[in-house]
Amino acid sequence: MFGHNTKKGLRFKIPGFGDRHIKVLLSDYDGTLSCGCDASSEVKVRLARLAECLDIHILTADRKVESDDNLGHLPVKIHILSDKDQDVQKRDYLDAFEAEHVAVMGNGNNDRLLLEAVRTAGGLCIAVDNGEGCAVDALLHAHVFARSAEEALDLLLNTDVCATTLRY
């Protein structure tokens, strides 16, 4: 089972909002980490840095992600979704983890159930527009909106900036 995390995670001290201890990142790929089906070198560098303290799982139907040209060489777990009911598949993938210790990133309607489940459980939810738009339902279930994958990953890498954004 994926839920047995051996990494220390990230701690967010967020006045008024509530502290978070994130151990796992679950992220969509298309339109969230990638634009035009490719992740930038900046995204790859940030993912490698985050993988030092978080278990990272990429949820996608795009099999190209597994190639070494893309994310295949990075220390991330890539889970390939089938074509049907991707929103349900993504939400059900969360069952392997303690949802309150999960950060999730997504941009599409098929991310809304996962975002909602993580938000309800007390995790951290980031809606992302990486150049392909962001569905309104994804926005409604997120805690914060990021204008790019780099910006979203930076919110995790710099916990003080994220806390400043979310504090009351």
Parse the chain into domains and list their residue ranges: 26-163
pLDDT of residue 63: 81
Q: Which two tokens stand for residue 163?
A: 């806390």
pLDDT of residue 6: 55
Distance CA 62, CA 103 (A): 21
Q: Which residues of the chain have pLDDT under 70?
A: 1-6, 68
CA atoms in the 13 A half-sphere facing the CB of 78: 20
Alpha-helix residue ranges (DSSP H) falling in 2-79: 41-50
For the stretch 115-149, pLDDT in tens is 999 999 999 999 999 888 999 999 999 999 999 99
Identify the three-state secondary structure at position 166. Answer: helix
Identify the three-state secondary structure at position 40. Answer: coil
Into which CATH architecture does domain 26-163 fall? Answer: 3-Layer(aba) Sandwich (3.40)
